[in-house]
Amino acid sequence: MKRLQFMSARILQGLLALLVIATANFLLVRAAPGDPASIMAGEAGASDPQFVAQLRTQFGLDQPLPVQLGRYLGHIAKLDLGYSYRQQQPVADLILERLPATLLLTGTAFGLSLLFGIVLGALASRNAGQWQDSVITVVALVFYATPLYWLAMMAVLLFTVQFDLLPAFGFFTVGANLSGMAKALDIAKHLVLPALTLALFYMAVYARMTRASMLEVAQMDFVKTARAKGVHPGRIQRKHILRNALLPVVTLAGIQAGGMIGGAVLTETVFAWPGIGRLMFDALLQRDYNLLLGCFLFTAAMAVLFNLITDFVYTLVDPRIELG
């Protein structure tokens, strides 16, 4: 019962957060310079003021800002993200069409970063002060500080241009007419570079946090007691230190898992990966405000959802957590 009340309160907080985010995004997008109706009329070669006024009326841009905001929030309450007049499709359909590619990329990158981050962090902690610790710390710091777009461009230059080992752009080989296992392998080859590029930064974060957390837990009394009782050092590392040190890592990973979907804009753009990040970037360039707002709201909803899942998992992993 207490866990149900806890999760109900978290869900309510998440919905309120989405309301604030949706309102802020709408106001910020509307505050951007440029009138979508004028831009679309200019691209159509019709700068007639009457035609521009007709477009403004059609899109509801002639209404006062509070009225536009109220209509937008009302549509969201009905799970209607609007219509993309650039793509001539509902925004929800466009997002769902790109969602599998984004989930494949971010899911692979997240799994790789979490796995190798924890392993490298644990290795650095176990060999604290030795050369293994120094190498892992320096490498993690380099990947943490290096801009993502630079890593992406260097990966393309090295593995595609220089050695021609991996494809750099797209989701699959266009015109190859592959199917079954051959198509799956082709997609996997296209996935390698963007997934590794996106994973390196987060791997560095998890490695540094795992190392710091394990060193902190290693100084606690229950670990000293286990050592005094003669428990095998390997068992102490796995059962006593690592298990307790993973709690903050799990929290951070859960928060970043949702943010990774929206944070893949640079990676998807550089590698021409047909995901939501690329869709968001194209919507920004085309001033497709309905699509841009829909992408913003969807990625925010994913972040809130993963945060809720993390809160729930955290209470299961650590029973000492108070459900208040």
CA-to-CA distance for 93 and 138, rounded, in angstroms?
44
* C-alpha distance from residue 241 to each of 97, 204, 205 (Å): 43, 20, 19
pLDDT single digits (tens) 81-116: 888 888 888 999 999 999 999 999 999 999 999 999
Length of the chain: 324
Sequence ranges of the chain with CATH classification 1.10.3720.10 = 92-317
In terms of C-beta density within 10 A (0-12 exposed, 13-18 middle, 19 or more buried), how is residue 105 classed? buried
pLDDT score for 30: 80
**Cα 4 to the chain's mean position, in Å?**
28
Joined together, the tokens standing for residue 260 give: 């990774």
Amino acid identity for residue 160 in this structure? T
* C-alpha distance from residue 85 to each of 26, 29, 60, 106 (Å): 17, 16, 13, 28
Residue 38 burial (CB count, 10 A): 16
What is the percent of the chain where pLDDT is above 70?
A: 92
pLDDT single digits (tens) 232-270: 887 888 888 888 888 888 888 888 887 787 668 888 888
CA-to-CA distance for 188 and 281, rounded, in angstroms?
24
pTM assigned to the model: 0.85
Mean residue pLDDT of the chain comes to 84
Amino acid identity for residue 68 in this structure? Q
CA-to-CA distance for 293 and 144, rounded, in angstroms?
30
Joined together, the tokens standing for residue 268 give: 């998807």
Q: Pick from 125, 189, 149, 110: which is nearest to 269 by CA?
A: 149
CB 271 within 8 A of CB 169: yes
pLDDT single digits (tens) 138-175: 999 999 988 888 888 898 898 888 888 888 888 887 77
Q: Between 1 and 191, name the one with better pLDDT.
A: 191
Per DSSP, which regions of 186-242 are E strands? none
Per-position b or e across 236-247, b if 16+ CB within 10 A of its CB: bbeebbbebbbb
Rounded to 10 deg, the angle between the 91-126 and 289-317 helix axes is 40
Please name the helix (run of DSSP H) or strand (run of DSSP E) that holds residue 83, with its range, or none. strand 83-84
For 176, list phi and psi in degrees, rounded to 5. Answer: -80, -20
Residues forming beta bridges with residue 84, ordered by sequence position: 89
Q: Which fold has domain 92-317?
A: MetI-like fold (1.10.3720)
CB 149 within 8 A of CB 241: no
Helices (runs of H) and strands (runs of E) counted in the chain = 14, 2
Residue 160 burial (CB count, 10 A): 15
pLDDT score for 24: 92
